[in-house]
Structure 1
Amino acid sequence: MAAAPQPPQPNQPQTKPVSPSLTRALRWPAVAAGLGALLIHNSMESQADLKPQSRPAAIAPATPRATASTAPSATAEPALPRSAPERLSIPAIAVSAPFTELSIGASGQLDPPPADDSNLVGWFQDGASPGERGASIVVGHVDTKTGPAVFSRLGALRPGSMVRIIRADRTVANFKVDSVKAFSKEDFPNDRVYADTPSPQLRLITCGGAYNQSTREYEENVVVFAHLDSVRRA
């Protein structure tokens, strides 16, 4: 799915009559577990549509190319052992939210965060936990039917912004933002966002761009790329 124009400032008033929930354009190539590519569908009326797809032959579970959006700092922290995340804090955009675990449901689709909770983020629990080696995937709604939600201002983050995640083992994983990108859902760069990584990284994802009244969907996804910068005890 190619880079698209940056979305409007997320803190501007929303004008559409009803807001969609986060449900589209999350595709991830398989790594060691053989998960296969995944697709999240963002639609106001549908549930999340994260379906296992056949893995393209050209995609290998190799380290992605080092780019400004994926390359961690030379002084990045070593990986932590696996531990579930409990709370997300992003001071720059006043986010403080608990986590819920997301997984593939009986229908073969990823269950999204509840659409009626505006202050909740979801972690794809079958992927890397925040601080583990690999890219940990965290998603949140940009809005709900009642107004702005937890990731309404995600696009306002800038390189150097800090993201803090309190884990169940009482460690705090501090991630530093490398870049913030908006991608068209029609040409989403799966390799760049979801490929395995040799160091602990984080992807924060929500909807963005223009709201299409005919399809009742946002046309882009906002993706924050970050790397593990430091660790402390909670």
Structure 2
Amino acid sequence: MTETKRSNLLVWAVALLVALGVLAVISSGPGSARTGTTTASVPAGAQSESLPLAASAPVGLEIPAIGVTRDSIMKLGFNEDLSLQVPPDAATVGWFAKGSAPGTDGPAVFASHVNYGGQKGGFADLKEMKAGDEVVVHRADRTSVTFVVDRVEEASKQAFPTATVYGPTAGPEIRLITCGGDFDGATRNYEDNIIVYGHAKGAYR
């Protein structure tokens, strides 16, 4: 990827995060305390696959720690005016299709609202995740990738860690992003982002 294309990618990605915040309309409220971590089970008889994998789009997502299961994933691209698409409702989880596919080298970035139109968003409880929690992404080629959470960060949108979130990595990684922090009623925008960072533990078919 050329430096120009990489720079454009980072600009578009930041615009996506801003859009997620602008569309939120209520605060998520205090979360419940969690103890321990939550792992994901591998189906009996599953065959292990070596990482990194060839590119394949995500078609499902499981986050057992916060009770999120999705059987479809929206590809996030561009509107006709070249503005970035965002999930059209509270529940939808989107994948930034201009970035890395899950299981390939680089960060696969997923986004969902914290809330939307007065309804709880798909990533409303993202801030409750802990290091050691596991996330499973199912792919179109019938492989699945298990990721382990490394850390959860709340970052100001005024100082968003763009390079850390979207920059190249030595292996397959994942990012889960939603809005967080205080809600500014004047701009109808959250001041921060909640970012979950994780690395691939393994893959199976």
Shorter-chain TM-score tier: 0.7 to 0.9
Residue 166 (1) aligns with residue 138 (2): yes
Separation in 2, partners of 1:187, 1:151: 21
Deviations 1:75-120 (A, max 9, x none): xx62110000001100010000220001122212111111x3x321
Match of 2:76 in 1: 102
**Structure 1 residue 134, shift from structure 2 partner:** 0.7
Residue 199 (1) aligns with residue 171 (2): yes
1:34 to 1:212, Cα distance in 2 relative to 1, 3 A: closer
Q: Check conservation: 1:143, 1:150, Cα contact below 8 A.
A: yes
Residue 44 (1) aligns with residue 17 (2): no
1:30 to 1:208, Cα distance in 2 relative to 1, 3 A: farther
Q: Check conservation: 1:31, 1:196, Cα contact below 8 A.
A: no
**Structure 1 residue 30, shift from structure 2 partner:** 6.9
Helix, strand or coil at the partner of 1:155: helix
**Structure 1 residue 230, shift from structure 2 partner:** 1.1
The one-letter amino acid paired with 2:136 is R
Separation in 2, partners of 1:119, 1:44: 13
Separation in 1, partners of 2:168, 2:93: 22
The one-letter amino acid paired with 2:66 is I
Deviations 1:175-218 (A, max 9, x none): 00000000001111111111111210111000001111122111
1:32 to 1:228, Cα distance in 2 relative to 1, 3 A: farther
User: Which blocks of at least 5 consecutive residues in structure 2 are unaligned?
Assistant: 25-49
Residue 125 (1) aligns with residue 82 (2): no
The one-letter amino acid paired with 1:80 is L
Residue 79 (1) aligns with residue 52 (2): yes
When you count helix as a share of all residues, which structure comes out higher? 2
The one-letter amino acid paired with 2:60 is R
Identity of aligned residues (%): 35
1:113 to 1:161, Cα distance in 2 relative to 1, 3 A: same
Deviations 1:24-71 (A, max 9, x none): xxxxx97685452322222138xxxxxxxxxxxxxxxxxxxxxxxxxx
Match of 1:183 in 2: 155
Match of 1:214 in 2: 186
User: Which blocks of at least 5 consecutive residues in structure 1 are unaligned?
Assistant: 1-28, 46-76
Question: Which residue of the other structure, out of 65, 74, 85, is the alignment partner of 1:111?
Answer: 85
Separation in 2, partners of 1:87, 1:113: 15
Match of 2:62 in 1: 89
Match of 1:22 in 2: none
216-225 or 34-43: bigger deviation: 34-43
Separation in 2, partners of 1:30, 1:137: 20
Helix, strand or coil at the partner of 1:186: helix
Taking structure 2 as the reference length, what is the TM-score of the superposition?
0.79
Separation in 2, partners of 1:102, 1:84: 12
State the number of aligned residues. 172
